[in-house]
Chains A and B, each alone.
Chain A
Amino acid sequence: QKEVEQDPGPLSVPEGAIVSLNCTYSNSAFQYFMWYRQYSRKGPELLMYTYSSGNKEDGRFTAQVDKSSKYISLFIRDSQPSDSATYLCAMKGSNFGNEKLTFGTGTRLTIIP
């Protein structure tokens, strides 16, 4: 079983819809949680960065972390065709052995105009 599980999709939604992307993890040492967006033939671009449990909002994006359930989410409001990309969750801890970033496999999202 992988340390980080992410539904690979693909996920297609109409423009303007709310998108929900999720990851689960098994390592309780993870403390830092990130969402990256990756366009085709590009490197991942950091979207959201959260420490420990809670919510964080940035424009149309909201990241949620529930450490008790080992579950993180990314919500995209008023989705746009330009949001079509692969979304990767990533996480790491601060103690020895957990400092490296561990990624989910990514969810491919398509926003239909």
Chain B
Amino acid sequence: KAGVTQTPRYLIKTRGQQVTLSCSPISGHRSVSWYQQTPGQGLQFLFEYFSETQRNKGNFPGRFSGRQFSNSRSEMNVSTLELGDSALYLCASSLALLAHRRSDTQYFGPGTRLTVL
């Protein structure tokens, strides 16, 4: 079974631009979560999507948004990029057979490394 895939793997943008990152979860997985990883802050939760609905959100500004499609694929968008947005953006999927189950294991993709100049 294929793992979580993320595209693109590397991206260079300039301040003020916007960017869209894509994530394809493991086949059959219904929940997708996004994380930002930086050397100083570590892994920080951005948001989680389940059945095309955002059901959890971290403490990030509104410039960070996401969505999930009916096939569970997800995208995240960052508008008006700032230098501090340079990071590895990780997507993780989990089975979520039952909507209320919170114990499901998350499997991570390789990440998209975003550099903002």
Contact = CB atoms under 8 A, between A and B. Distances in A.
Interface of A: 32, 34, 36, 41-46, 49, 51, 88, 90, 92-94, 99-106
Nearest to A98: B102
Given A99-B56, A100-B58, A102-B45, A46 B102 contact: no
B67 to A, nearest CB: 18
Given A41-B110, A100-B45, A101-B106, 10 more contacts: A34-B105, A43-B90, A43-B92, A43-B108, A43-B111, A44-B90, A92-B102, A94-B102, A100-B48, A101-B45
A44 B41 CA distance: 16
A103 B43 contact: yes
Contacts of B48: 99-100
Contacts, number: 52
Interface residues of B, number: 23
Interface of B: 4, 33, 35, 41-45, 48, 56, 58, 90, 92, 102-103, 105-111, 113
B33 A101 contact: yes
15 contacts: A36-B108, A41-B113, A42-B110, A42-B111, A43-B4, A43-B90, A43-B111, A45-B108, A46-B107, A94-B102, A99-B56, A100-B33, A101-B33, A101-B45, A105-B41
